[in-house]
Amino acid sequence: MKVKIGIIYATVDGQTLKISKVLQKELLKSGNLVEIYSIEDFNEKITNFDTLIIGSSIRYGVHHKKIIEFINSNKPKLDTIKTAFFSVNLVARKPEKNTPTANPYVVKFFKTITWKPTIVEVFAGKLDYKKYPFFDRIMIQFIMWMTKGPTDKTVEIEYTNWDKVAKFGKTLQNL
Ligand X SMILES: Cc1cc2nc3c(=O)[nH]c(=O)nc-3n(C[C@H](O)[C@H](O)[C@H](O)COP(=O)(O)O)c2cc1C
Would you count residue 134 as binding ligand X (CB under 6 A)? no
Q: Which residues of 153-163 are buried (b: 16+ CB within 10 A; e: fewer)?
A: eeeeeebbeee
Would you count residue 15 as binding ligand X (CB under 6 A)? yes
The piece of 8-16, 31-39, 77-85, 166-174 that touches ligand X (CB under 6 A) is: 8-16
Cα of 46 vs its chain's centroid, Å? 19
Cα separation of 105 and 92, whole Å? Answer: 9
Would you count residue 23 as binding ligand X (CB under 6 A)? no
Nearer CB in complex with ligand X: 57/83: 57
Would you count residue 164 as binding ligand X (CB under 6 A)? no
The piece of 28-36, 37-45, 126-134, 167-175 that touches ligand X (CB under 6 A) is: 126-134
Would you count residue 21 as binding ligand X (CB under 6 A)? no
58-77 residues near ligand X, rule: CB under 6 A: 58-61
Q: Which helix (H) or strand (E) holds 120?
A: strand 119-124
**Binding residues for ligand X, how many (CB under 6 A)?**
21
Torsion of Cα atoms, 150 then 105 then 11 then 54, to 10°: 140
Would you count residue 89 as binding ligand X (CB under 6 A)? yes
Asked if 52 contacts 42 with a C-beta cutoff of 8 angstroms, the reply is: no
10 Å CB burial of residue 19 (0-12, 13-18, 19+) is: buried
Query: For binding to ligand X (CB under 6 A), which residues are involved?
Result: 11-16, 57-61, 88-91, 125-127, 132, 136, 140
